[in-house]
């Protein structure tokens, strides 16, 4: 019966996914989206290139021109490619860092600027100093780093607008050979075939210039073009299915679906608790489980597309931790039937997935070839997932810790529930300690092969150890009788800052050490610090209240038993 309800929940969840059915219909533009381009070390569909280009320059996947209809990334890209508007004067380039806008004399309230505005500004002098500093190996200021990002955006715009060099033409023999633009096709092929693709290419451009809305004509020409391109070098040109998989992966957007399902699962669980509707419990679990399924599917597909082990950058680790939180929660839910695991997990997984989807500048979702040190290593591909699963357990403990502290704040009289919650929380800390220890040790083994030493106090290593200690010390303190249930709840919340530092802080705040391939800039450290501060304030308020209550109880001499105190 339970299984049936669970399956019904899963089916319900998957049904929600499938609707609307229109998302599976083929679009007439498909052949255009699946046109292959070789860029940045891999072959990708034009669809991906369009999304990446528009996101990198504009910071989001659509563009709203003045007094016109909104353009999606593909239309924006085509307009850039075929140069159908005055891109010198379109406010398209994202400049978000306020102090930089101030020093450039730009309007600080605007987010997007035109190419010509930026070229006229003082950007060049800042770039000049920045490059000078780079040459002298002096650390750059935030202004200068941001200016370099803007320069990249300008360069990409310049490269994209009206280009005839998009590498669409495959190498004749070598699967890893360099592709060329239509203009340079005669380097590889003789005249008749070059002429044919040139004709199609011109037709495509003219068709778009004349009537950008006529999708069926564009699709038709693109199909002919791509067939001819594939025929030039059938052994080198990738399979249609490969490109289709990538286009439909982005089209389906499994991670966005997953968080919606987590949200639904959360609501269902709230209903279960509010109305004591135990019947829906398994259904809620089913919906949540279907979210986990689609999340896992998305992750696997991404691994397939990239053709390499997962979790190699911040973006992938955030998605993976989101997955880990949901998976561990479901597992523990199945063991303990606590309901609270799911309640704690859903918001955290949702936050992870929304963050990874909405901050392309910080969490870069583009698929790029790996740097050599991350390649070809068995230990790495198990070390990182393990350690990040440890982070996930602690993240879940953070969620449960908040629920616990909420109870201490608003329902301190619900002693049995608090006791159960504490027990469940403890179980999470145990899993976290096991996974994080294993992850750190696996990291040591990787380091043994990669850097020649098991342990070398690299900042990332050290912080992973500190994070572990942040949990291990309270766990021992609990055995010594110094940490009560309440203190362990506080630990779950406060010690997560150690994890945050190991995971995010070393890359974004410290920025030193051997793990430099993970480093990035623009990590909005202030926002993170602010959130951490607010959370700590919350903990402090609960602690003050709890202390007051304890004192009162002592006065009344009705001290309730402390289960874990030593005898």
Partner 1 sequence: MKTFDRIWRFIGSIQLAVPLLGAIVLVLVGATFYESKVGSVSVQHEIYQSPWFGALMFLLAVNLGVSALNRYPWRNARQVGFALTHLGLIVIIAGSAAVIHLGVEGMLLVRTDRGANNQVRMQGDLLEVMNPDRTVESGNIFINRSGKVYPTYLAGLELADYRENTVRSIQFIEGETVPNPAVRLSLTSDRMGQNIERSLAVAPSSYSQMTLGIAELAIVQTNSDEELQQLLSPPSNKTQHLWGELKIDRGQKQAIVDVKDNISKSVNFNDLTIELVDFFPDFRLDKNRLPTTASSQFNNPAILLEISSSTGTEGWFVFGKAEFPPIRTVISGERIADLQLDYQFETPPAEDYFHVIATEDDKLYYTAKSSNGFKSGTLAIGESVTPGWADFQITLKEYIPHGKLQRTIVPADNPQVQGNPALLVKTAAGTATWLPWGEPTTIEEPEGEIYAAFGPKLLALPFGIKLEDFIVDRNEGSQSVAMWTSKIRIQDPINRISKQRNVWMNHPTWYRGWKIAQASWNPGDLQQSTLQVKREPTWVTALTWTGSALVVSGIAVMFYAPALMRKMRSKSNQTEPATAVTPEVAEKPEDEGIDRNLTPIS
Residues at the site binding partner 1, with contacts judged by CB under 8 A: 38-43, 167, 175-179, 335-336, 369, 371-373, 375-377, 380, 423-424, 426-427, 430, 433-434, 437-438, 441, 444-445, 448-459, 462-463, 465-466, 469-470, 472-473, 476-477, 479-482, 506, 510-513, 563-564, 566-567
> E-strand spans in 438-519?
none
Distances (CA, A) of 10 to 270, 284, 291, 314, 511: 18, 9, 9, 30, 43
Q: Of 229 and 427, which has the nearer Cβ to partner 1?
A: 427
Helix (H, G, I), strand (E, B) or coil at 36: strand
Which residue's CB is nearer to partner 1, number 83 or number 437?
A: 437
Record the tokens describing residue 559, joined without a space: 């001290």
Pick between residue 52 and residue 117 the one whose CB is nearest to partner 1.
Answer: 52
- Least distance in angstroms from the C-beta of 96 to partner 1: 26
CB nearer to partner 1: pick between 275 and 454:
454
CA 247/CA 269 separation, integer angstroms: 34
The closest of 533, 387, 384, 383 to 468, measured between CA atoms, is 387
Q: How far is the CB of 393 from partner 1 (least distance, A)?
A: 12
Q: Closest approach of Cβ 453 to partner 1, in Å?
A: 5
Nearer to partner 1, 29 or 342 (CB): 342
CB of residue 262 vs partner 1: minimum separation in angstroms?
A: 25
* Token pair listed for 301: 């597909």
Q: Spell out the alpha helix ranges (H) of 82-164.
A: 98-104, 115-120, 123-135, 142-160
57-61's contacts with Cβ under 8 Å and 24+ in sequence apart are 57/92, 57/93, 57/94, 57/153, 57/156, 57/157, 57/160, 58/92, 58/93, 58/94, 58/112, 59/94, 59/96, 59/111, 59/360, 59/361, 60/360
> Helix crossing, 485-494 with 378-410: angle to 10°?
130
Taking the complex as a whole, the smallest distance from the CB of residue 319 to partner 1 amounts, in Å, to 23
Which residue number, 144 or 485, has a Cβ lying nearer to partner 1?
485
Q: Are 122 and 106 contacting, i.e. CB atoms less than 8 angstroms apart?
A: no
Q: Least distance (Å) from partner 1 to the CB of residue 226?
A: 18
Distance CA 351, CA 557 (A): 44
Question: Which tokens hold the place of 226?
Answer: 């791509």
Cα–Cα distance measured from residue 222 to residue 34, given in angstroms and rounded to the nearest whole number: 9
Q: Nearest-5° angle of CA 65, CA 39, CA 168?
A: 85
Tell the smallest beta-carbon distance from residue 85 to partner 1 (Å). Answer: 29
CB-wise, 101 or 383, nearer to partner 1?
A: 383
Neighbours of 550 (CB within 10 A): 13
50, 60, 58, 53: which is closest to 29 by C-alpha? Answer: 50
The angle subtended at Cα 333 by Cα 442 and Cα 432, nearest 5°, is 25
Give whichever of 145 and 260 is closer to partner 1, judged by the CB atom: 145
Min. distance of Cβ 563 from partner 1 in angstroms?
7
3-class secondary-structure state, position 511: coil
Smallest distance, Å, CB 560 to partner 1? 16
CA angle (431, 362, 254) in 5-degree steps: 65
CB of 177 to partner 1, least distance (A): 7
- Provide the 3-class DSSP secondary structure of residue 94: strand
Task: Kindly state the smallest distance separating residue 507's Cβ from partner 1, in Å.
Answer: 12
Task: State the minimum distance, in angstroms, from the CB of residue 311 to partner 1.
Answer: 16
Minimum distance of partner 1 from residue 71's CB (angstroms): 28
114 vs 381, beta carbon nearer partner 1: 381
**Of residues 297 and 426, the one with the C-beta less far from partner 1:** 426
Q: Measured between alpha carbons, how far is 386 from 431 in angstroms, rounded to an integer?
A: 11
284 vs 37: CA distance, rounded Å: 43
Closest to partner 1 by CB, 298 vs 459, is 459
Query: What is the C-alpha separation between 97 and 340, in angstroms, rounded?
Result: 40
Between 271 and 373, name the residue whose CB sits nearer to partner 1.
373
Q: Which is nearer to partner 1, 448 or 549 (CB)?
A: 448
Closer CB to partner 1, 136 or 190, in the complex: 136
Task: List the structure tokens of 306.
Answer: 């990239």
Count the Cβ atoms, other than its own, within 10 Å of residue 118: 19
Residue 301 CA to residue 378 CA, distance in Å, equals 20
From the CB of 448, what's the least distance to partner 1, in Å?
7
Q: What is d(CA 144, CA 131) in angstroms, rounded to the nearest whole number? A: 9
Token duo for residue 171: 């190498």
């Amino acid at each position: 019966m339970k299984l049936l309800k669970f399956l019904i929940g899963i089916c319900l969840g998957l049904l929600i996914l499938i609707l609307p059915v229109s998302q599976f219909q083929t679009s007439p533009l498909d052949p255009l989206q699946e046109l292959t381009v070789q860029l940045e070390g891999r072959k990708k569909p034009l669809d991906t290139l369009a999304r990446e280009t528009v996101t990198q320059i504009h910071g989001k996947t659509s563009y709203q021109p003045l007094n016109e209809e909104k353009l999606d990334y593909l239309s924006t890209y085509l307009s850039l490619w075929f140069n159908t508007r005055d891109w010198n004067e379109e406010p398209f380039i994202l400049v978000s860092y306020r102090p930089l806008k101030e020093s450039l004399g730009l309007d600080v309230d605007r987010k997007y600027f035109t190419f010509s505005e930026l070229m006229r500004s003082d950007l060049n002098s800042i770039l000049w100093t920045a490059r000078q500093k780079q040459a002298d190996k002096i650390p750059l200021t935030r202004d200068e780093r941001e200016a370099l990002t803007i320069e990249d955006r300008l360069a990409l715009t310049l490269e994209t607008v009206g280009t005839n060099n998009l590498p669409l033409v495959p190498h004749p023999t070598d699967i890893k050979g360099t592709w060329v633009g239509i203009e340079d096709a005669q380097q590889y092929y003789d005249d008749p075939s070059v002429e044919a693709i040139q004709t199609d290419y011109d037709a495509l451009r003219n068709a778009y210039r004349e009537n950008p809305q006529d999708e069926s004509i564009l699709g038709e020409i693109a199909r002919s073009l791509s067939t001819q391109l594939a025929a030039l070098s059938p052994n080198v040109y990738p399979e249609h299915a490969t490109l289709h998989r990538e286009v439909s992966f982005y089209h389906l957007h499994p991670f966005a679906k997953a968080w919606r399902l987590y949200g639904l699962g959360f609501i269902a669980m709230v209903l279960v608790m509010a109305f004591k509707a135990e019947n829906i419990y398994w259904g809620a679990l089913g919906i949540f489980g279907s979210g986990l399924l689609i999340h896992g599917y998305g992750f696997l597909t991404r691994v397939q597309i990239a053709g390499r082990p997962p979790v190699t950058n911040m973006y992938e680790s955030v998605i993976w931790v989101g997955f880990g939180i949901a998976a561990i929660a479901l597992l523990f839910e199945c063991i303990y039937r606590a309901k609270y695991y799911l309640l704690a997990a859903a918001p955290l997984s949702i936050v992870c997935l929304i963050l990874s989807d909405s901050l392309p500048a910080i969490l870069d979702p583009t698929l790029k070839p790996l740097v050599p040190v991350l390649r070809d290593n068995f230990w790495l591909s198990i070390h990182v997932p393990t350690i990040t699963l440890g982070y996930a357990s602690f993240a879940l403990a953070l969620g449960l810790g908040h629920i616990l502290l909420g109870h201490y704040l608003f329902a301190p009289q619900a002693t049995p529930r608090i006791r159960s919650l504490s027990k469940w929380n403890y179980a999470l800390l145990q899993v976290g300690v096991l996974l994080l220890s294993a992850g750190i040790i696996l990291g040591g083994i990787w380091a043994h092969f990669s850097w020649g030493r098991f342990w070398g106090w690299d900042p990332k290593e050290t912080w992973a150890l500190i994070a572990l200690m942040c949990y291990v010390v309270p766990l021992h303190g609990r055995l010594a009788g110094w940490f009560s249930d309440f203190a362990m709840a506080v630990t779950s919340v406060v010690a997560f800052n150690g994890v945050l530092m190991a995971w995010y802080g070393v890359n974004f705040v410290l920025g030193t050490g051997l793990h430099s391939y993970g480093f990035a800039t623009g990590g909005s450290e202030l926002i993170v610090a602010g959130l951490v501060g607010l959370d700590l304030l919350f903990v402090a308020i609960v602690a003050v209240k709890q202390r007051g209550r304890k004192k009162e109880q002592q006065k009344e001499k009705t001290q309730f038993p402390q289960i874990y105190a030593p005898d």
